[in-house]
Homo-oligomer: A and B are copies of this chain.
């Protein structure tokens, strides 16, 4: 594809050719796709308008114009004004981007639809992923749609509902003792052994995370501009980083003048990136404590890849955003509050993005007139253990 210039290492800057690789060959840093934006922005974008959801933005994805999308109708999720939140926190404008309204009920459908389409482009024979749940569910569904076998490595304690979904879609599941970081290692070995495409989220798969950029394009279109703040729950944080990349692309295209301030939210019980932000560090360190939290979807201690947290932290600093940690008690409170006040049933990991507003207010980050978009990343029905 002419529009893709290469895979650039975010650590050392080395540019690699477009291939099925996951890290810099020199320094093992994570990779970022670089585009020939000039050629893209002169293309007639309306060519893709008839494709729905994320595929309207195909020109800014690592997909050729004529490649058939592996799609289940992902994206184009609701952006809802929340009067209840505005009153609760005395803010002028709070909107909820509800990513639970996706085919497998989380934002992961964006990167996985892109990843499986790329998998078909590369002609692989199967796909592998590590997951805390949502990535695995999406990987299993999109692999089924693509007609490819799928193996998923999940930590023990992954919510039962997510396991049932993966199984229904026909994926092979391996339960791993330990945390997500342990599952991450095993899945990497398996992918290497079989030559299968590794879909693991974090920043491992540089193609998948490009799908996350479509969140930015949709917020821009639906909001009609750029909100002051965008709040996103983060494990490693690819959604936050890619969403910001999406807005930077809109800036390059001359569509927006300012950029949003990015807020990364973690559960206080597993908050490696937020801890680094609070200590004003430049680099994230692995989380050395227990990572027990109701927010299982973002309970990533970053044990063997703290540099992924650093990539997210760097974006937070660049955007003049902040890192926010929230307690399990507050997560459970706002999960229920949001369902009862607005009819939106978020999973605990997503309720962090509501709980964060309270902390931002307390810490003085917010002006009353600020506009806020907070992202509900997944549906509460996928994780009922926390409610019982």
The reply to whether A339 and B168 contact each other, CB–CB distance below 8 Å, is: yes
Q: Which residue of B lies closest to A141 (CB)?
A: B343
Alpha-carbon distance between A344 and B137 when the two chains are bound, in angstroms: 11
Scan A52-92; emit 1 where CB is below 8 A from any B CB, else 0. Answer: 11000000000000000001110011111000000000000
The reply to whether A345 and B169 contact each other, CB–CB distance below 8 Å, is: yes
The reply to whether A344 and B78 contact each other, CB–CB distance below 8 Å, is: no
Is chain A's interface secondary structure helix, strand, loop, or mixed overall?
mixed
Q: Which residue of B lies closest to A52 (CB)?
A: B78
Does any Cβ of B come within 8 Å of A105's Cβ?
Answer: yes
A379 partner residues in chain B, CB cutoff 8 A? 105
Alpha-carbon distance between A345 and B71 when the two chains are bound, in angstroms: 15
Known contacts: A72-B80, A80-B71, A384-B164. The answer to whether A343 contacts B105 by CB under 8 A is no
Does any Cβ of B come within 8 Å of A142's Cβ?
Answer: yes
The reply to whether B380 and A381 contact each other, CB–CB distance below 8 Å, is: no
A170 partner residues in chain B, CB cutoff 8 A? 339-340
Alpha-carbon distance between A376 and B384 when the two chains are bound, in angstroms: 24
Alpha-carbon distance between A336 and B170 when the two chains are bound, in angstroms: 9
Does any Cβ of B come within 8 Å of A190's Cβ?
Answer: no
Does any Cβ of B come within 8 Å of A6's Cβ?
Answer: no
Alpha-carbon distance between A338 and B381 when the two chains are bound, in angstroms: 21
Does any Cβ of B come within 8 Å of A143's Cβ?
Answer: yes
Best-surrounded residue of A71, A72, A169, A381 (most CB of chain B within 10 A)? A381
Scan A304-341; emit 1 where CB is below 8 A from any B CB, else 0. Answer: 00000000000000000000000000000000100111
A140 partner residues in chain B, CB cutoff 8 A? 343
Does any Cβ of B come within 8 Å of A145's Cβ?
Answer: yes
Q: Which of B72, B98, B145, B345 contacts A73 (CB 8 A)?
A: B98
Does any Cβ of B come within 8 Å of A161's Cβ?
Answer: yes
Does any Cβ of B come within 8 Å of A283's Cβ?
Answer: no
Does any Cβ of B come within 8 Å of A4's Cβ?
Answer: no
The reply to whether B381 and A165 contact each other, CB–CB distance below 8 Å, is: yes
A225 partner residues in chain B, CB cutoff 8 A? none
The reply to whether B98 and A101 contact each other, CB–CB distance below 8 Å, is: no
A32 to chain B, nearest CB (A): 28
A268 to chain B, nearest CB (A): 23
Does any Cβ of B come within 8 Å of A281's Cβ?
Answer: no
Does any Cβ of B come within 8 Å of A144's Cβ?
Answer: yes
Does any Cβ of B come within 8 Å of A228's Cβ?
Answer: no
The reply to whether A336 and B168 contact each other, CB–CB distance below 8 Å, is: yes
Complex interface residues of chain A between 365 and 388 (CB less than 8 A to chain B): 379-382, 384, 387
Does any Cβ of B come within 8 Å of A273's Cβ?
Answer: no
Does any Cβ of B come within 8 Å of A342's Cβ?
Answer: yes
Q: Which residue of B lies closest to A340 (CB)?
A: B170
A250 to chain B, nearest CB (A): 20
The reply to whether B384 and A342 contact each other, CB–CB distance below 8 Å, is: no
A341 partner residues in chain B, CB cutoff 8 A? 144
A168 partner residues in chain B, CB cutoff 8 A? 336, 339-340, 345, 380, 387
Q: Which residue of B lies closest to A168 (CB)?
A: B339
A78 partner residues in chain B, CB cutoff 8 A? 52-53, 71-73, 103
Does any Cβ of B come within 8 Å of A102's Cβ?
Answer: yes
A101 to chain B, nearest CB (A): 5
The reply to whether B72 and A381 contact each other, CB–CB distance below 8 Å, is: no
Chain A to chain B: the 7 pairs with minimum beta-carbon distance, closest first: A73-B78, A141-B343, A170-B340, A145-B343, A144-B343, A168-B339, A169-B339
Pick 6 A–B contacts, CB within 8 A, sort by A: A98-B103, A104-B345, A105-B379, A144-B342, A164-B384, A169-B343
A: residues with CB less than 8 A from B are 52-53, 71-73, 76-80, 98, 100-105, 140-145, 161, 164-165, 168-170, 222, 336, 339-345, 379-382, 384, 387
